[in-house]
Structure 1
Amino acid sequence: MVPLAGGEKIKAGIIGGAGYTGGELLRILVNHPSVDIAFIHSNSNAGNFVYEVHTDLFGDTALKFTDVFNYNIDVLFLCVGHGDARKFLEANPFPANIKIIDLSQDFRHTEKSSIAYENLSGDNQPATRNFVYGLPELQRGAIKKADNIANPGCFATCLQLGLLPLASKNLLNSEVHITATTGSTGAGQSLSPTSHFTWRNDNLSVYKAFDHQHLKEIKQSLKQLQDNFEQDVNFIPYRGDFTRGIIASIYLNSDLTAEEAVKLYTDYYTSHPFTHVTTRNIDLKQIVNTNKCFIQVQKKGNKLFIISIMDNLLKGASGQAVQNMNLIFGLEETAGLKLKAAAF
């Protein structure tokens, strides 16, 4: 944890500010009470006002994109594509005292969670950055002590939050079956055949069945809590006909009663401000535009049935990145993240 001195604000830089996650990050940080945005880097938009790309920010900020780095910052957010974060840090080393929060998948897996870099600090620190997996509901304590964060994936966050309480008590003892649907923003801003409006509208499709890239980090986290977990996680992802949000249906065999399951989940998340457990029906409009995850727990025969919902761009990306920043710098965990749901 790096506490602020005398009310001084955190100076933040953003790499890749023109995309979906960069835009969401800007929407949070321009209103964050403890942050000043030092620069927003974009090679293709340098010199343009931020509101010319993110038009809803007109009237909120007069910041411009730049192609120049400012090293007088406390934290750097990497909102670039998968594979590009590691390349960026290799080509553009930042001083060791600058905290880095990476929203790509480049440092999420244990065997790839560090990177060597040119030491610019002159303080004899080792020229290696080690990244901590940034799921607060799993390892808040480690995040508070971290210098660098690998922000979890959107599906990974939603599904892990649906399963962590069971793993914490060694109760994942059967195959896990998951069907989950995500909004079109989960595919990123670059157009592809499956993200065009004319294809996505009034349509639904399965992709990467059983081998989605987020399965690796999900299993890694579950084994962190339940080291004997070797069961299959059968994950069927869907592309949804909506822009944002994830809804996941999870079921597995369980000897828990309904009351025991609800208590287990409620107890696990009682100290976590954004994850809430209920037995009532839940829907995406309750959590879209928020950093919340809602979890519904039911028992059906010998099956435990869990529904997990969240916003893929907020709790699944930029909101969680700010949550991690708050923890690193000793701020209130919810600072800047008390956001209003769409509701209707």
Structure 2
Amino acid sequence: MIQVGIIGGAGYTAGELIRLLLNHPKAVINFVYSTSSAGRLLSAIHQDLLGETSIQFSDQINPNIDVLFLCLGHGNSKAFLEAHEFSSCTKIIDLSHDFRLKTSANFQAKQFIYGLPELNKKEIIKANYIANPGCFATAIQLALLPLAAHHLIQNPVHINAVTGATGAGTKLSATTHYTWRDNNFSYYKAFGHQHLGEIKESLVSLQKEFDSALNFIPNRGNFSRGIFATLYLELDESLETIQSLYQSFYKDAPFTIISENEVHLKQAVNTNKCILHLTKYNNKLLITSAIDNLLKGASGQAIQNMNLMFGIEEKTGLKLKASYF
């Protein structure tokens, strides 16, 4: 069994990671580290785990585990690794932004591989250190990678995407308070979201000359989880040609699904899937991408990466059904 350690166990992504690992047939949780909650049951914080486990938060770290998941806020993973040492055999999967860009991927002689399996599966299989992609970045990249692979992004891409309240994390703020969020809708970080850097690097890795604008408007929705993104750009190729390119690109990607019908968010929530739909309006290609921001956008993708790193079948522990009703 893979011995797993989790750092930063109180947030939404950690809660989903724990839920997945408790039901994973090839992994066991060795510790969940938290100095503030040490000695408390995991279910005291993650109340959906009541009756599922008697594991307690710990203020002790086992440096000899097989894999370490870092579920810390952006900027804190580097500080944690500077302060703590682990076995040279311990693989690390970081769920923050700290190591996603090429300029920050090499840290303390550790080379972090960008962990988008649909793009870097061969590298992930051989990797010891993974930078798990961002949630918006996952939804947007999976919508665009097949076009970049065929050098077809020659015009600006317009992206409108809405995320649920869990995308903002557990810390309360003015825009996550129930009375503000309920029956409300707003945009934020227009044209300057932090995930744009990793998206552009991935597109350039497939289409070297890529320099088209990504006009990205992120939105806050008044629902709990999920990302629903619509993207459009001018493209002359026929819909049949484009659909064929996507089917071919994702033929070995078990979690990226091309739907012939229009998609909606409930098809993806509570799964590790990215569901894509393609259609054309005259010379405009419209792409819809739907994911669960806490699963394919975070913890589910982290488990997917763990499976690949340890030579386990990719879908192990991730055969989840959407909460449709």
> TM-score interval w.r.t. the shorter chain?
over 0.9
CA separation in 2, counterparts of 1:161 and 1:97?
31
CA separation in 2, counterparts of 1:23 and 1:44?
16
Give the 3-state SS of the residue equivalent to 2:208 in structure 1. Answer: coil
Residue number in structure 1 paired with 2:207: 226
User: 2:159 touches 2:214 (CA, 8 Å); kept in 1?
Assistant: yes
- The equivalent position to 2:172 in structure 1, one of 191, 195, 209, is 191
Equivalent residue letter for 1:156: A
User: 1:250 touches 1:306 (CA, 8 Å); kept in 2?
Assistant: yes
CA separation in 2, counterparts of 1:338 and 1:45?
31
Could you give the per-residue CA deviations for residues 155-208 of structure 1, whole angstroms, max 9, x where no partner exists?
Answer: 000000000000000111100000000000000011111111111110000100
Q: How does 1:159-308 map to 2 (within 5 A)?
A: 159-308=140-289
RMSD: 0.6
Give the 3-state SS of the residue equivalent to 1:307 in structure 2. Answer: strand
- The equivalent position to 1:82 in structure 2, one of 69, 74, 78, is 74
How far is the alpha carbon of 1:337 from its aligned partner?
0.3
Gapped regions of structure 2 (runs ≥ 5): none
Q: How does 1:3-18 map to 2 (within 5 A)?
A: 9-18=1-10
Residue number in structure 1 paired with 2:113: 132
Gapped regions of structure 1 (runs ≥ 5): 1-8, 117-127
Q: How does 1:91-102 map to 2 (within 5 A)?
A: 91-102=83-94
Residue number in structure 2 paired with 1:46: 38
CA separation in 1, counterparts of 2:264 and 2:120?
27
- Tell me, yes or no, if structure 1 residue 332 matches structure 2 residue 324: no
User: 2:64 touches 2:86 (CA, 8 Å); kept in 1?
Assistant: no
Equivalent residue letter for 2:14: G
Equivalent residue letter for 2:283: N
Equivalent residue letter for 2:11: G
Equivalent residue letter for 1:277: I
Residue number in structure 1 paired with 2:136: 155
How far is the alpha carbon of 1:341 from its aligned partner?
0.7
How far is the alpha carbon of 1:56 from its aligned partner?
1.0
Residue number in structure 2 paired with 1:29: 21
CA separation in 2, counterparts of 1:340 and 1:47?
33
How far is the alpha carbon of 1:259 from its aligned partner?
0.7
Residue number in structure 2 paired with 1:111: 103
CA separation in 2, counterparts of 1:287 and 1:226?
28
How far is the alpha carbon of 1:318 from its aligned partner?
0.2
Moved over 4 A (4+): none
CA separation in 1, counterparts of 2:204 and 2:303?
26
Equivalent residue letter for 1:295: L
Equivalent residue letter for 2:36: S
Could you give the per-residue CA deviations for residues 216-243 of structure 1, whole angstroms, max 9, x where no partner exists?
Answer: 0000000000000011000000000100
Give the 3-state SS of the residue equivalent to 2:60 in structure 1. Answer: coil
CA separation in 2, counterparts of 1:190 and 1:114?
30
Q: Matched residues, percent identical? A: 56
How far is the alpha carbon of 1:93 from its aligned partner?
2.0
How far is the alpha carbon of 1:335 from its aligned partner?
0.4
Could you give the per-residue CA deviations for residues 223-279 of structure 1, whole angstroms, max 9, x where no partner exists?
Answer: 000000011000000000100000000000101101111111111111100000023
User: 2:246 touches 2:258 (CA, 8 Å); kept in 1?
Assistant: yes
Aligned length: 325
